[in-house]
Structure 1
Amino acid sequence: MSDLSAIPELISAYGLITLVPLAILEGPIVTIIAGWLASIGLLNPLGVLVAAVVGDLLGDLLLYGIGRGLRLDRLPYVGRWLRLPRTQLVPLVRTIRDNGTKILIIGKVTHAAGFAVLLAAGAAKMNLLQFTLINLLCNVPKSAIFVTLGYLVGEAYGRASAWLGWGSAVVFVGLLAGGFWWLMQRRAAIC
């Protein structure tokens, strides 16, 4: 997604329906923004969590499907197109065949490796049910953390906005009083 500033408007205008496809593309960012929108009452927090988990899971299944449809001899070509070197993908496929659950959990926890791990899990022909369950078990707490983070940021923003409003008023009154005092001092010095 090229313009992230459009995400809040899309989600607040169309609701949870837009959250699932956006979560497929930009999961964590969209989930945090949706959590913030939930904190100001535009969305239901539980609905945000469900939509974020569904979107993240669909995106993961899409990458798994791409990897599953590949023959191993085609993997380097796809890896090059996705800017993943063969030196990373082929050993990763072998490692997933041996330790799939551990590697998948690590891939889901670390966003940097997630893309390659999901693709390699498909190429390694990991069991789809196992893949889905592991992803679901990782997605629920991860999405809950992002929704909570967005919710807390939204609440903090509301409080900070109120504090800044009062703080700005106090500073403004202080500047007016200081300016008035300065004018009186200057006027007294002239007379």
Structure 2
Amino acid sequence: MIEPGTALSLVAAHGIALVAPLALIEGPIITIIAAWLAQQSILDIRAVLATVVAADLAGDAILYAAGRAGGHRIARLLRLDEARVADLSGQLNRNSGRLLIGAKLTHAAGAAVLFSSGAARVPFAWFMLCNLVATVPKSLAFIALGWWTGESYDRIGGWILPVSVGLVVVALIGGLALRRSRCP
């Protein structure tokens, strides 16, 4: 993970051209920093939005391609449990849209679901459409966060993952409660 202070210095010095490759590595914090720099009139906010959305979708496509190529070695490299990938692949064959959008919005489950989408051979156009539907509001949320509170980028970076994991837990509990209420 790139240090937020280092990312700020690099983006401020080199501009929007550096946002895309850095966003592939650490999207949320780079988006927050880039939006804050746009608020300071250093970057153009429209360019920030277009760049972070494109970088996010490119990262999704890379994970999809890795899953499509398969291989236990790739799953291990990404630190994905092979049994979990197989389970997610089966779920994706039944509910790809909801699962993809949910995983993208919570951020924490993203890599495993994106990789599993490729392994499950979810049609690529559908995969990208679902990711676009989730990426735009998520990117806008991080841009808004950066615009209004970007000077606190170092503290914000520390709570993105815990909040994302919390959202996954709440979604799972809600899903289980909903399933129980529907089943006799």
Give the TM-score taking structure 1 as reference length: 0.75
- 1:103 pairs with one of 99, 104, 128: 99
The AA in structure 1 aligned to 2:39 is S
- 2:121 pairs with one of 119, 125, 135: 125
* 8 Å Cα contact 1:93/1:124 also seen in 2: yes
What's 1:4 paired with?
A: 4
Structure 1 position 155, deviation (Å)? 7.7
Structure 1 position 98, deviation (Å)? 1.2
What's 1:18 paired with?
A: 18
Q: Cα gap change, 1:103/1:12 in structure 2, threshold over 3 Å: closer, same or farther?
A: same
- 1:147 pairs with one of 143, 156, 172: 143
What is the count of residue pairs matched by the alignment?
153
Deviations 1:54-75 (A, max 9, x none): 11011111101111111xxx34
Q: How does 1:77-116 map onto structure 2 within 5 Å? A: 77-116=73-112
Q: Structure 1 stretch 79-88 or stretch 121-130: which is displaced more?
A: 79-88
Structure 1 position 82, deviation (Å)? 2.3
Give the TM-score taking structure 2 as reference length: 0.78
Find out whether 1:43 has 2:43 as its counterpart: yes
Structure 2 unaligned segments of length 5 or more: list them: 154-184
* 8 Å Cα contact 1:53/1:143 also seen in 2: yes
**Using the alignment, how far apart are the partners of 1:83 and 1:57 within structure 2?**
21
The AA in structure 2 aligned to 1:19 is V
What's 2:132 paired with?
A: 136
Q: Cα gap change, 1:110/1:154 in structure 2, threshold over 3 Å: closer, same or farther?
A: closer
Structure 1 position 101, deviation (Å)? 0.7
**Using the alignment, how far apart are the partners of 1:7 and 1:121 within structure 2?**
31
SS in 2 for 1:144: helix
Find out whether 1:54 has 2:54 as its counterpart: yes
SS in 1 for 2:58: helix
The AA in structure 2 aligned to 1:87 is A
**Using the alignment, how far apart are the partners of 1:56 and 1:14 within structure 2?**
20
Structure 1 unaligned segments of length 5 or more: list them: 158-191
**Using the alignment, how far apart are the partners of 1:119 and 1:9 within structure 2?**
32
The AA in structure 1 aligned to 2:69 is G
Q: Cα gap change, 1:39/1:124 in structure 2, threshold over 3 Å: closer, same or farther?
A: same
Structure with larger Rg: 1
* 8 Å Cα contact 1:38/1:45 also seen in 2: yes
